[in-house]
Amino acid sequence: MDTKKLRQKILDLAIRGKLVPQDPNDEPASVLLERIKAEKERLTKEGKIKKGKKSEKTSDTPHYEQVLPNGWCLSTLGEVFTLQAGKNITAKDIKDTATELNPYKCYGGNGVRGFVASYNREGDFPIIGRQGALCGNINIAKGKFYATEHAVVVERYCDVDLMWAYYTLTTLNLNQYATATAQPGLSVAVINDVYIPIPPQKEQERISQEIEHWFALIEQIEQGKADLQTTIKQTKNRILDLAIHGKLVPQDPNDEPAIELLKRINHGFTPCDNEHSEKLPNKWCYCSFKDVFIDITSKPYQILQSQIKDSGKYPVISQSANFIEGYSDENNVFQHKRACIIFGDHTRNVKYIDFDFIVGADGVKILCPKVNEKWAYYSILYASSHIEKKGYSRHFGQIVQFSMILPPFAEQYRIVKKIEELFSVLDNIKNALEV
């Protein structure tokens, strides 16, 4: 379930008068607008608000149907509300956390910037961000707060419903009216002329209540999805833990001992001294990283970031979370004879690669297994999750020192088969959540 699209659909229905039924007993929105007009004229005469500038142009109305629901009417933001930018404040006066000396939220172009010592507005207001890449974003400010010059405070009149105003402003995609400059910005004069459909006041309240009802259900779904995804991740980790310690599939007494395998693939093999370590399953043994992996330098296969394209002959593999970073037509290709394992030195990301590729950046470690490739992949995946996290520092030195546990060659195949069987079930559940 795409909950983002579901939210958008609910808001679309709301702004078109299709989320809740109309009530013929409701006061028409046209009457509400007349009361708002009278209220604004009174406040202007009293000097409490400035007289709004008369619009010189008419905005188009591409988002709305020609026929509005019964009791609704079409108006502009400037007619329904008063939009006013806040006041400038220096960055040094804005603190990261709230304190006794700086208790008030400070709203800027992208929402809350921090906390300040004084406030310039008090009440409950929608806030429009008017500066920056995210200009047009909508927030709600309540109580005492400070609005900077990059935040537009939306003043309501005649008890226009707060949450209806917030949700309606959210649907307008005000970012589309921003100036196309290095630092996009919204002009209050421009957004004053943006049209919105106005429902009767009572219907506004019913709409906002219905939206919040649906959004609460969606949040429950999202939390359930997040909880289940966390459970899936934890289950996969547990499966790997059982696999690495010989508890996922039964041992076969007819299997060749792992130490015999190591002797064949490593001339002059010397067993690791792990007498104080946990007891291993029958015919398993400890070994070093170099006993089961060949570390191939990635330097000859690396290309520059500028050489990575959206399409090309060969896929580019980096240490990022993206399985394929891009494509390239360069000739420095790593040609696989057997599958290899990619370990991100900085990121700890692990990838199983069984095709020709080009290395996308520094930090890519190419590991060629001497044993079952998939077993080697799951071993490194397990090791990566059990080494110390050092941010963007290098981690390969820890992987090299990680004590490897090796099962017999035949058991490696049985373990891999079981892992992939179980992982497939979990992946199907995860994919079902994303539909």
One-letter amino acid for residue 188 of the chain:
V
**d(C-alpha 343, C-alpha 328), whole Å:** 21
Same domain for 138 and 29: yes
- Which stretches of 60-185 are assigned E, i.e. beta strand? 73-76, 82-85, 104-108, 111-116, 121-129, 138-147, 151-155
Residues spanned by the domain of 322: 289-393
Supply the pLDDT for residue 327: 95
Using DSSP, state whether 109 is helix, strand or coil.
coil
Do residues 37 and 81 make contact, with C-beta atoms less than 8 angstroms apart? no
Whether 97 is covered by a domain: the verdict is yes
Q: Hey, how many other C-beta atoms are within 10 angstroms of the C-beta on 303?
A: 18
What is the tally of helices (H) and strands (E) in the chain? 11, 17
Supply the pLDDT for residue 222: 87
- pLDDT digit string, tens, across residues 321-365: 999 999 999 989 998 788 999 999 999 999 999 999 999 978 999
Same domain for 51 and 183: yes
Same domain for 180 and 49: yes
Supply the pLDDT for residue 58: 46
Length of the chain: 435
Supply the pLDDT for residue 66: 59
**d(C-alpha 331, C-alpha 303), whole Å:** 10
The CA distances from residue 431 to 209, 230, 322, in Å, are 32, 14, 18
Supply the pLDDT for residue 88: 95
Reduce the secondary structure of 344-403 to three states and give it as a string: ECCCCCEEEECCCEEECCCCEEEEEECCCHHHHHHHHHHHHCCCCCCCCCCCHHHHHHCC
Supply the pLDDT for residue 59: 47
The strand order across the sheet containing 82-85 reads 82-85, 151-155, 121-129, 138-147, 104-108, 111-116
Do residues 341 and 367 make contact, with C-beta atoms less than 8 angstroms apart? yes
Whether 31 is covered by a domain: the verdict is yes
Supply the pLDDT for residue 48: 83
Whether 225 is covered by a domain: the verdict is no
Using DSSP, state whether 315 is helix, strand or coil.
strand
Buried b / exposed e across 37-61, counting CB within 10 Å, b at 16+?
eeebeebeeeeebeeeeeeeeeeee
- As a 3-state breakdown, the chain gives helix, strand, coil percent values, each rounded to 5, of 35, 20, 45
For tokens 């060659």, name the residue.
409
* Helix 162-171 vs helix 3-15: crossing angle, to nearest 10: 110
**d(C-alpha 3, C-alpha 305), whole Å:** 35
Mention every residue, 6+ apart, whose C-beta is less than 8 A from residue 374: 339, 352, 416, 419, 420
Q: How many domains does the chain have?
A: 2
Question: Kindly report the CA angle at 255 between 254 and 257, in degrees rounded to 5?
Answer: 125
Using DSSP, state whether 290 is helix, strand or coil.
helix
Same domain for 298 and 200: no
Domain boundary among 162, 183, 205: 205
User: Structure tokens of 45?
Assistant: 């005469």
CATH number of residue 73's parent domain: 3.90.220.20
Whether 101 is covered by a domain: the verdict is yes
**d(C-alpha 2, C-alpha 4), whole Å:** 6
The DSSP secondary-structure symbol of 145 reads E
**d(C-alpha 78, C-alpha 76), whole Å:** 5
Does the pTM surpass 0.75? The reply is no
Buried b / exposed e across 119-146, counting CB within 10 Å, b at 16+?
bbbeeebbbbbbbbeebbbbbebeeebb
Same domain for 40 and 183: yes
The strand order across the sheet containing 314-317 reads 326-328, 314-317, 358-359
Whether 232 is covered by a domain: the verdict is no
Domain boundary among 205, 239, 264: 205
Task: Please report which helix (H) or strand (E) contains residue 4, including its range.
Answer: helix 3-15
Supply the pLDDT for residue 306: 85
Whether 270 is covered by a domain: the verdict is no
Same domain for 192 and 313: no
Whether 108 is covered by a domain: the verdict is yes
Same domain for 308 and 190: no
**d(C-alpha 351, C-alpha 340), whole Å:** 8
Same domain for 180 and 298: no
- pLDDT digit string, tens, across residues 122-157: 999 999 999 887 789 999 999 999 999 999 999 999
Supply the pLDDT for residue 349: 95
Domain boundary among 205, 232, 252: 205
Whether 5 is covered by a domain: the verdict is no
Supply the pLDDT for residue 274: 55
Same domain for 192 and 298: no
Per-residue pLDDT of the chain (435 residues; tens, 9 = 90+): 688 899 999 999 999 999 999 999 999 999 999 999 999 999 999 988 887 665 555 445 555 555 799 999 999 999 999 999 999 999 999 999 999 999 999 999 889 999 999 999 999 999 999 988 778 999 999 999 999 999 999 999 999 999 999 999 999 999 999 887 767 889 999 999 999 999 999 999 999 999 999 999 999 988 888 888 899 999 999 999 999 999 999 999 999 999 999 999 988 777 665 554 568 999 999 999 999 999 999 999 999 888 999 999 999 999 999 999 999 999 899 987 889 999 999 999 999 999 999 999 789 999 999 999 999 999 999 999 999 988 878 999 999 998 889 999 999 999 999 999 999 999 988 887 665
